[in-house]
């Protein structure tokens, strides 16, 4: 079986350095929001080209906190509307409801599967205050058009960049294309921890200060424990990155660009060699440089294709089988129809795109896909 990915193989080269780092962290006695976290925040901010990176516990918390921080700034209020793609992982939408805001679903561009800028203005009302874009599968959104709309209507823009570590749009990296960028470092991401972790990037001084407070129970900021006052400015969270995750992320960040290049090489091979006329291949938006977190193809007989490839010894996954508006969690939306999103969710299939794949693996995958005539 050709696995979809194998995390142990991806992380094995870091094992010795990781063990040494754990020893250092253990002896330091500082296990949360210590020196490793501070260094990772600096490194990741520099990598994204932003002034700040605020490390948190996971990607969902990064999204929720960004929205909450804008509420503390008085930019957002309970019940305000947030434009969000109808075609996304449910976490994007959960963050909006968790912040007591109202998600307004907008259909994707069928070519890119990302938020369609041409549909946004149709959904804007007097209560709309924010656009939450999602760089799905590592493909950057059309940020020029989205930011133009945001400026026209005085809206903030937040990026869900959970799948887009290192992706570029017009030479600027994801996380630096809006007011704030939110990242997940779930182990399977292009930049993955060995547990849960996340971060928020921004160039806004005031927003960064509020986020640093919110992640630590809303406490007054302090540089070290001796200056901690136990004064709480906001109704905050406990969503702090630990030193162990920060240390492994710092190691892996140095290899992110080279790893993304390998993903790009695999994607190019697929794009050049998959020639099954019934398959829809990914579309790359002009001026964008995707990082190919996932390579997603489309076929009207997706389930038959998935079974066919399984019989051939090729593991595939579906990202994602059920659109958010059809999930039980949002039963109030179950009667709604979003035709493009439903079509996407019924037809997409993610094929292996991992650094451990050999040239023989890739040829076999391509030949198998081309052979399918379901």
| Domain co-membership, 68 together with 159 | yes
The verdict on 267 and 366 lying in the same domain is yes
| Paired sense of beta strands 128-134 and 81-85, if any | parallel
Same domain, residue pair 206 and 173: yes
pLDDT at 374: 81
Q: Are residues 57 and 158 in the same domain?
A: yes
DSSP E strands in the chain: the ranges are 52-56, 81-85, 102-106, 128-134, 156-160, 168-169, 172-173, 180-184, 198-202, 288-289, 295-298, 348-351
Rounded to whole angstroms, how far apart are CA atoms 221 and 224?
A: 9
Q: What is the pLDDT of residue 52?
A: 98
Geometric angle at alpha carbon 251, from 249 and 253, rounded to 5°: 65
Looking at the structure, tell me whether residues 309 and 215 fall in a common domain: no
* Last residue of one domain, picked from the residues 210, 233, 253: 253
Euclidean distance between CA atoms 163 and 294, whole angstroms:
8
- Residue 173's domain comprises 7-253
Provide the 3-class DSSP secondary structure of residue 180: strand
Query: Could you tell me the pTM of the whole model?
Result: 0.97
pLDDT for the residue 317: 98
Which pLDDT value is given to residue 69? 98
Of all residues in the chain, what percent are helix, strand and coil, respectively (each to 5)?
A: 45, 15, 40
Same domain for 304 and 337?
A: yes
Q: What does the pLDDT read at residue 226?
A: 79
Residue 246 confidence (pLDDT): 98
- pLDDT reported for residue 224: 78
132 and 273 inside one domain = no
142 shares its domain with 69? yes
Residue 233 structure tokens: 């400015």
pLDDT at residue 111, as a whole number: 97
Is the domain of 249 the same as that of 314? no
Query: Which residues are within 8 A (CB) of 84 and not within 5 positions of it... i.e. 6 or more apart?
Result: 92, 93, 96, 103, 104, 105, 106, 115, 131, 132, 134
Query: 342 preceded by cis ω (within 30°)?
Result: no
Residue numbers in the chain where pLDDT is lower than 70: none
Query: Is 29 contained in some domain?
Result: yes
300 shares a domain with 223? no
């Amino acid at each position: 079986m050709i696995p979809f990915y194998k995390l142990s193989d991806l992380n094995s080269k870091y094992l010795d350095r990781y063990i040494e780092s754990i020893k250092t962290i253990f002896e330091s006695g500082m296990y949360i929001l210590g020196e490793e976290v501070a260094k990772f925040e600096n490194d990741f901010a520099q990598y994204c080209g932003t002034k700040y990176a605020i490390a948190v516990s996971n990607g969902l918390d990064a999204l929720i906190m960004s929205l909450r921080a804008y509420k503390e700034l008085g930019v957002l209020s309970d019940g305000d509307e947030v434009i969000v793609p109808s075609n996304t992982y449910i976490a994007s939408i959960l963050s909006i409801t968790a912040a007591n805001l109202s998600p307004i679903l907008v259909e994707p561009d069928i070519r890119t599967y990302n938020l369609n800028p041409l549909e946004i203005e149709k959904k804007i009302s007097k209560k709309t205050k924010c656009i939450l874009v999602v760089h799905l599968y590592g493909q950057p959104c059309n940020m020029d058009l989205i930011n133009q709309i945001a400026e026209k209507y005085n809206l903030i823009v937040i990026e869900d960049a959970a799948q887009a570590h290192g992706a570029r749009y017009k030479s600027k990296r994801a996380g630096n294309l809006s007011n704030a960028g939110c990242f997940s470092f779930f182990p399977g991401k292009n930049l993955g921890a060995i547990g849960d972790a996340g971060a928020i990037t921004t160039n806004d001084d005031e927003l960064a200060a509020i986020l640093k407070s919110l992640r630590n129970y809303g406490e007054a900021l302090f540089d070290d424990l001796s200056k901690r006052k136990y004064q709480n400015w906001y109704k905050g969270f406990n969503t702090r990155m630990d030193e162990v995750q920060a240390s492994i992320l710092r190691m892996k960040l140095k290899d992110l660009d080279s790893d993304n290049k390998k993903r790009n090489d695999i994607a190019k091979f697929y794009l050049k060699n998959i020639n099954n006329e019934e398959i829809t291949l990914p579309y790359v938006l002009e001026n964008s440089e995707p990082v190919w977190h996932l390579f997603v193809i489309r076929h009207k007989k997706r389930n038959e294709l998935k079974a066919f490839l399984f019989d051939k010894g090729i593991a595939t996954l579906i990202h994602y089988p059920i659109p958010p508006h059809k999930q039980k969690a949002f039963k109030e939306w179950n009667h709604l129809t979003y035709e493009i999103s439903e079509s996407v969710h019924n037809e997409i299939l993610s094929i292996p795109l991992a650094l451990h794949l050999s040239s023989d693996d890739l040829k076999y995958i391509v030949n198998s896909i081309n052979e399918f005539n379901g």
